[in-house]
Amino acid sequence: MTVEALHRYTLAESPTGDPRSLAALAEILDADATAAGFGTDRERHPTGDHLIWSLGASGGAPGTLLFLTHYDTVWPVGTLRAMPWAVDGDVIRGPGVYDTKSGIAALLTAVAAVRAPHPEIRVVVVADEEVGSPTATGLVESEARRAEAVLGLEPPHPGGDLKTGRRGSTRARIEVTGVEAHAALDPDAGASAIDELVDQLIRVRAIGRGRPVLVNTGTIAGGGRTNVVAGSAHADLGLRFADPEDERAVLGELTALRPVRDRATVGTRLLSHRPTWRPSPAGDRLLARIVAVAAGLGQPLDGRPADGAADTNTTGALGRPTVDGLAPRGGGAHARTEWVSAAGITERVALITALLSGL
């Protein structure tokens, strides 16, 4: 059943920011969630709705368990033509099978199968996770505050180990406004936004130097004609942080950037922000309980921090007990080699089923 569901989810291509495609998959997911016993709701957004599923506690079990996952992928509609669904022994291929549609399929199969008393189960299925969840972060925060534990259904470490921390991840845009003028007849009447942006990016490079901070200038755009002094320009930065203090310092310096040129203006705004999630005693205790449950199923597991970011950055940074990486093992996230293990799906269904009543 789980592989059949994953097949349907994969054929419903769902790139971030494509509301029509996301809506088509959302209908399928909500129907499967209803069949599994969930009540369904949505937080609606023009770029794609976030799905909210809830199942009341049974047998008097206390507390609330929150699962986080997402149904958007990095793959544009049409990717299936060059990267079709395929099953070859234990290997299942297709856009989004590993990141992270197999996690959704495993969760719904587990919830449909659970019979033992369990706490309230809530699930947030985000529509824009792959671009930093700019519209979902508030929802994730509010749901996390009411949960005793948060489990992320992102892909695990290679081999299946879980994730107990993540680098902070921020997308920031530096925006520059200059003064347009004829580039040959009256260049001094202008102030080049592109030249200003170049100087600001040199400053940005210096801000990251000497700290364990990754700074990547991902895109640059600006100007319009070679005979016009550029009136506007911007650059989008991707930043990764291992330490919250470095995160605060670097973001503070970015927002404090000031123009080099008298008639230019410079501003910085955050496009998305996921705070640094560092391992915590509460998270370590949650991991220990999961490892013990897995051991009882004959599944050896461990956990460690990860470099990539996800919505669990938000919950972990809030201090909520959080463990991520509960999607099935596989590989090739965001690559045309993306695959998920059929045996890994079976393992995760068994583990999630046990966790629903064993945490």
Which pLDDT value is given to residue 211? Answer: 87
Residue 209 has pLDDT above 90, yes or no: no
CB atoms inside a 10 Å sphere around CB 252: 10
Residue 248 has pLDDT above 80, yes or no: yes
In the numeric block, which tokens belong to residue 189?
A: 């009447």
Average pLDDT over residues 189-194: 97
Which pLDDT value is given to residue 36? Answer: 97
Q: Of 239, 274, 309, which marks where a domain is finished?
A: 274
Q: Which residue has the tokens 């016993």?
A: 37
Average pLDDT over residues 280-286: 97
239 beta partners: 170, 215
Q: How many percent of the chain have pLDDT more than 90?
A: 96
Whole-number CA gyration radius for the chain: 23
Q: How far is CA 172 from CA 75, 131, 317, in A?
A: 23, 12, 20
Same domain, 143 and 25: yes
Average pLDDT over residues 166-181: 97
Same domain, 149 and 186: no
Tell which residue, 72, 92, 94, 142, has the closest CA to residue 310: 72
Contact indicator for 77, 16 with CB cutoff of 8 Å: no
Same domain, 77 and 191: no
120 beta partners: 64
> Mean pLDDT of all residues in the chain?
96
Residue 111 has pLDDT above 80, yes or no: yes
Which pLDDT value is given to residue 230? Answer: 98
Which pLDDT value is given to residue 15? Answer: 98
Average pLDDT over residues 170-187: 97
Q: What pTM, to 2 d.p., does this model score?
A: 0.92
Same domain, 174 and 234: yes
Same domain, 138 and 198: no
- State pLDDT tens for residues 17-72: 999 999 999 999 999 999 999 999 999 999 999 999 999 999 989 999 999 999 99
Which pLDDT value is given to residue 301? Answer: 97
Contact indicator for 352, 149 with CB cutoff of 8 Å: no
Same domain, 73 and 155: yes
Average pLDDT over residues 88-105: 98
Q: How many percent of the chain have pLDDT more than 70?
A: 100
Average pLDDT over residues 175-199: 97
How is the chain split among helix, strand and coil, in percent rounded to 5? 35, 30, 35
Query: For residues 282 and 149, what is the distance between their CA atoms, to the nearest angstrom?
Result: 9
Same domain, 132 and 53: yes
Q: Of 274, 307, 329, which marks where a domain is finished?
A: 274
Torsions phi, psi of 220, nearest 5?
-135, 135
Same domain, 24 and 128: yes
Which pLDDT value is given to residue 130? Answer: 96
Q: At residue 307, what is the residue type?
A: D
Q: 111 lies in which domain range?
A: 2-166+277-358
Q: Name the CA dihedral angle for 258, 260, 266, 271, rounded to a multiple of 10 degrees.
A: -80
Average pLDDT over residues 170-195: 97
CB atoms inside a 10 Å sphere around CB 188: 7
Same domain, 283 and 149: yes
The CATH number linked to 255 is 3.30.70.360
Query: Per-residue b/e over 337-346, b at no fewer than 16 CB within 10 Å?
Result: ebbbbbebbe
How many domains are there within the chain?
A: 2
Average pLDDT over residues 221-245: 96
Q: Of 213, 248, 274, which marks where a domain is finished?
A: 274
Which pLDDT value is given to residue 1? Answer: 73
Same domain, 116 and 265: no
Torsions phi, psi of 3, nearest 5?
-65, -35
Same domain, 119 and 191: no
- State pLDDT tens for residues 22-37: 999 999 999 999 999 9
Contact partners, residue 292, CB within 8 Å, separation at least 6: none
Which pLDDT value is given to residue 262? Answer: 92
69 beta partners: 125
- State pLDDT tens for residues 312-357: 999 999 999 999 999 999 999 999 999 999 999 999 999 999 999 9
Contact indicator for 340, 97 with CB cutoff of 8 Å: yes
Strands 91-93 and 213-222 turn out to be unpaired
Same domain, 217 and 266: yes
Q: How far is CA 203 from CA 200, 206, 207, 208, 209, in A?
A: 5, 5, 6, 9, 10
Tell which residue, 330, 270, 260, has the closest CA to residue 93: 330
